[in-house]
Amino acid sequence: MRPLLAARGCTIATGIRLHTLAEVIDHLGASRQTGIIDGTEIRVRRPAVGRKDREKFISGKNKQNAVKTVVLTDATGRLLFCCPAQPASCADITHARQFGLVKHLTDGPAVEIHVDAGYQGLGAQTGGRVVTPPHRKFRKNPPDWYEEIHERQRRAHSSRRIRVEHGIAHLRNWRALARHLGRREHMSDTIQAIVGLLSHQQTATRGPDQPQ
């Protein structure tokens, strides 16, 4: 059942599902919506002693064995896409490049994607379509007026991104993702199956055009 549910994709309306990142980018462009991306880590069992690439699963952020996935939502927090899981040592920006975000944004419609500081550099590669937090130009002894402007811009960016955190929180409420004790090889199907079920639930309870 797990692979079948994972292959269903994310529901955006009754009978309409998105299966690939290219379809999600086209949907956002056609509906003139903004996308939000963020990564999340899911704790897994530690690989056996002597296993090849054992250290790849250790998260540099949380110092625990985990896998990482990237979640994409629209501006209201509706789940639209979840990429396959990777070992947690993979950087966020590397993960985004691996599942083709740069290519799809460059070749696809004009879509704005809001991200956190872990994706710095993608904005230049996508012609400004990936929007990162504002850079700090003054590293030492910044003037008071600059600190005020920078903080205002940073908070505005964070407030636009907060919806993806809500989507990830709903995802992590599932017991299977609180801490995964099964085989790590099944994690991608498990995550994508749960994302598909959650998106179907969101569509059924909110309707396709209702805000969260």
Question: Which architecture characterizes domain 2-206 according to CATH?
Answer: 2-Layer Sandwich (3.30)
In terms of Cβ atoms closer than 10 Å to its own Cβ (0-12, 13-18, 19+), residue 187 is buried
- Average pLDDT (147-174) is 88
182: left (phi over 0), alpha (psi -120 to 50) or beta: beta
- Average pLDDT (80-108) is 89
Backbone phi and psi for residue 128, each to the nearest 5 degrees, phi listed first: 85, 5
Whether pLDDT at 207 is above 60:
no
96-117 pLDDT per residue, tens: 888 899 999 998 898 999 999 8
Compute CA distances 167 → 52, 54, 63, 190, whole Å. Answer: 34, 30, 24, 16
- Average pLDDT (37-56) is 83
Whether pLDDT at 172 is above 50:
yes
Instruction: Cite the beta strand spans of the chain per DSSP E.
Output: 10-13, 16-18, 35-43, 66-74, 79-82, 86-87, 113-114, 130-131
Strands 130-131 and 113-114: parallel
- Distance from C-alpha of 129 to C-alpha of 115, rounded to nearest angstrom: 10
Give pLDDT, residue 208.
Answer: 47
Range of 41-45, 60-64, 135-139 with top mean pLDDT: 41-45
Whether pLDDT at 159 is above 60:
yes
Give pLDDT, residue 212.
Answer: 45
Compute CA distances 79 → 10, 99, 184, whole Å. Answer: 7, 17, 23
Specify the residue for token string 């919806």. Answer: 163
- Average pLDDT (21-42) is 92
pTM of the model: 0.83
| 121 pLDDT tier (thresholds 50, 70, 90) | confident
Strands 113-114 and 35-43: parallel
Of the ranges 70-79, 85-94, 107-116, 178-187, which one carries the lowest mean pLDDT score?
Answer: 178-187
Give pLDDT, residue 14.
Answer: 82
- Average pLDDT (3-28) is 90
Q: In a 3-state reduction of DSSP, which class is residue 86?
A: strand
Of the ranges 59-68, 123-132, 184-193, which one carries the lowest mean pLDDT score?
Answer: 59-68
- Average pLDDT (58-82) is 88
Give pLDDT, residue 206.
Answer: 62
